[in-house]
Copies of this chain bind each other. A is one copy, B any other.
Amino acid sequence: MRILIDMDDVLADTSLKILNETNKRLGTNFTREQLNTSPEIYKEYYEKYSTVRGMLWEKGFFADIPLIQDAQEVVQKLHAKHEIFIVSAATEFPLSMDEKLEWLDKYFPYIGWSHTVFCGHKWMIKADYIIDDHEKNLINFEGKGLLFNATHNQHVKEFTRVHSWKEIETILL
């Protein structure tokens, strides 16, 4: 079985880095709990974040993203049984790609450049499953989509939502 795994907000807690950097750059004190429980505060945060969004294109931004809990353990188990490709919509951020390869080598060294894909769209990649936090990457995908739960995808209803790597383990292993 072939499984495509997204990076940002699936393997890497990119939203947390963005939250911390937004707070740091704007002197704000938004917390993840606030964003997850109050749509009004999330809206206010998102407007403020939009003013510093250019940081995503800065060199170094993607070098030190924290890991999502249990991702290392479960991906290694999946890799032992299935064909795994890491598929990240990273071509929008030209300086991110060598940082993302280094990040993967650090935490998932058995994947390697040969099974890493950086792209814009993902619909033309053929696989049995995709694990992704963005609806746009599940729509038109030929296999089954697992929507990795995130603050920004709460409105999406059509796909199987997974809240953790432990939950993915029970579905795919």
Contacts and interface: CB of A to CB of B under 8 A. Distances in A.
A101 B116 CA distance: 17
B119 A117 contact: yes
Contacts of A114: 91-92, 120-121
Interface string A95-126: 10110011000000000111111111100111
B124 A120 contact: no
Size class of the A contact interface (CB-based, 8 Å): 20 to 34
Interface string A1-33: 010000000000000000000000000000000
A47 B24 CA distance: 53
Contacts of A119: 116-119
A62 B125 CA distance: 26
Interface string A72-106: 00000000000001000001101101100110000
Contacts of A127: 124
A65 to B, nearest CB: 17
Contact of A94 (B85, B102, B142): B102
A95 B99 CA distance: 10
Interface of A: 2, 85, 91-92, 94-95, 97-98, 101-102, 112-121, 124-127, 142
